[in-house]
Each structure stands twice: as C-alpha cells, then as structure tokens.
Amino acid sequence: MKILVPVKRVVDYNVKVRVKSDGSGVDIANVKMSMNPFDEIALEEAVRLKEGGKVLEVVAVSVGVAQCQETLRTGMAIGADRGILVETSGETEPLAVAKIMKALADKEQPQLIILGKQAIDDDSNQTGQMLAALLGWPQATFASKVVLEDGKVTVTREVDGGLETVALSLPAIITTDLRLNEPRYVTLPNIMKAKKKPLETVKPEDLGVDVAPRLKTLKVVEPAKRSAGVKVPDVATLVQKLRLEAKVI
C-alpha cells in the first residue's frame, strides 16, 4: 500500500509576517521557511501507519520553487521513502495543486492521500476537497484519529457539534487537524539518511497540468490594530458599554 503526502513550504509559524510596502503581497525575503504544520502532522500520521505495518511506501510531494527540495528532505528525514517536486516559478493556487496531485495519483496509484487541512499562509482549506472531487474518491476532513484496517479507513472528524466517525473505502482522501498527532523531532542521523533518498523533479507541463493563475490579488493589507481594553467598575457599566459603544446587544 502506498500513501501520497503533499507538503507545502510556508513562512515559519514563529515568524511575524510583514506586508510589502507596495501592498502586493507578503515579504518573504530573508525569512525563515518551513513545512506547513498541518502537512507535517499528515506526514507523521503516514509514517506511523508505515511503522505499524499498514503501509509499504510513503511518498512526499511538494509544489513550488526549487527551494521546496529542502522541505522534501525534511519530509524524508521524518520518514518518507522518497520525494517528488513539481517545480513551478510562482505561487500555485489550490485548484492547480489539486490538479497536479490528481495527475500524480493517476501515475503513482496510491491507496491513500493524506494532507493538511489547510496551509498557514493562505488558509484556503480547499486542496483536499478539490482533489477528492477530481479523483472521485471519498474524503474525510479535519481528522483527529485515523485507523486503517481491512481495506478501509475509519476516521474521527472534528466537527462543530463535537466528533464524527466515518468509514471510507479505499482509495480515499484525508485532511488532518491539529489534534491527530504530535510530529516527531527530526534527528541528525535521519537528516543524513534523507540526503540519500531519491528525489524526483518534474514540471507541471510534464503532467499535462495548466497552473496559470485564475485569481488576481488586488491588494494586501495588515489587519487593523485593536484598541486597548478598559476596566469597568460594575456589570451595569459593562452592559451599558456593550449596548451603546460596542452595539453588540
């Protein structure tokens, strides 16, 4: 059994993001980049399934610039067997990523694709759902528990009302939530081993996929700064401020 895991290179979550002075986008010059945390959780789950004897091969896939090779090497240090980089020159929209993953799924024939529910840069939360639609596979989003056995996968999902458990026939798509697992610390020996693992580089046109953007960013601005909070002497004053100033009641 084979699992594909898409991993995205994003600005590290510890970095304070800055908007470019011309408002054209986010400044990533000389900024630390790392693997999207949700994708890291997805990869950790795939590796655990392999370590449990449920899976034979885990393949990490990244779509982006040449520097994404570093992200794939990190993924292979976590435990992926090999990596595939679909090299593009600019930012790739979720639909284009889904089309690329469909083409790779047709080529690699995995039984399971596990990916993060969203990327922390654009927060789109679209790629997994679009990929399931393109492939015609069942999907389970926001997974907090995954059990693979008897040719099916049982997924516990985090939904607004609590938890929901669904059973999917394979092949299937799973998107991961924060509470699924805690990714392991990457050790130096595994980093050295990852350098020897195979990493294939292809272009979108090699897969027959058009990645031309369909959306245009008009302007990027920082969120408005919040005003400082105030202390009130009693509940009556609080209610008055909520009614007259905040106008929320």
Domain map (residue ranges) of the chain: 2-224
pLDDT at res. 199 = 96
Q: What is the mean pLDDT of residues 215-239?
A: 87
Q: Flag whether pLDDT at 119 surpasses 90.
A: yes
pLDDT tens per residue across span 155-207 = 999 998 899 999 999 999 999 999 999 999 999 999 999 999 999 999 999 99
Q: For residue 46, what pLDDT is reported? A: 96
pLDDT of residue 150: 83
Q: Give dist(CA 9, CA 103) in Å, integer.
A: 20
pLDDT over 90 for what percent of the chain?
Answer: 73
Q: What is each CA distance from 149 to 36, 45, 128, 200, in whole angstroms?
A: 28, 15, 22, 30
Q: Is the pLDDT of residue 62 over 90?
A: yes
**pTM tops 0.75:** yes
Rounded to 5°, the CA angle 74-103-213 comes to: 85
Averaged pLDDT, 198-221: 91
- Per-residue pLDDT band at 143 (split at 50, 70, 90): very high
215 Cβ contact partners less than 8 Å away, ≥ 6 residues apart: 93
Residue 63: its pLDDT value, please?
94
**Above 90 in pLDDT, residue 230?**
no
- Residue 19: count of CB within 10 angstroms of its CB: 15
Average pLDDT, the chain: 92
Q: How confident is the model at residue 50 (pLDDT cuts 50, 70, 90)?
A: very high
| pLDDT the model gives residue 217 | 85
Q: Any idea which fold 2-224 has? A: Rossmann fold (3.40.50)
Residue 121 DSSP code: T
Looking at residue 18, what is its pLDDT?
86
